[in-house]
Amino acid sequence: QVQLVESGGGLVQAGGSLRLSCAASGSFFSVSNMAWHRQTPGKAREPVASVTRGGTITYADPAKGRFTISRDNAKNAVFLQMQDLTLEDTGVYYCTADLKALGGAWQNYWGQGTQVTVSS
């Protein structure tokens, strides 16, 4: 069974920083794209940043200049360094990954989410 487990969320003051981590575990053959999404209050779930296995990175506008996504292919992990956090960054952050199961097809998996709360 494949799982994505996030960690690193929490409460931070506006202007502060947080680092989110996510690791894939279980039985799978390969990991392709990894990404972070978020759901903020009153808004639909939205992409934040993504990174391919080869290291190509894409940021959504709210993340540009403040967030940095990175990954460790050896550990099947992805990270999101967030700085200059604002109240609008409050929400649940989800890790996603495209994984190829052993003998199976590529599938998209989501983690359970980690809460990020930015206070004034």
Instruction: Give the pLDDT mean for 11-32.
Output: 95
The tens digit of pLDDT for each residue in 47-86 reads: 999 999 999 999 999 999 999 999 999 999 999 999 999 9
Confidence of residue 117 (pLDDT cuts 50, 70, 90): very high
State the Cα–Cα distance between residues 50 and 58, nearest whole angstrom: 5
The β-bridge relationship of strands 46-51 and 106-110 is unpaired
Placement of tokens 């540009």 in the chain: 64
Assigned token pair, 11: 């409460």
Res. 103: pLDDT tops 80: no
State the Cα–Cα distance between residues 98 and 104, nearest whole angstrom: 12
Distance of CA 88 to the CA centre of its chain: 17
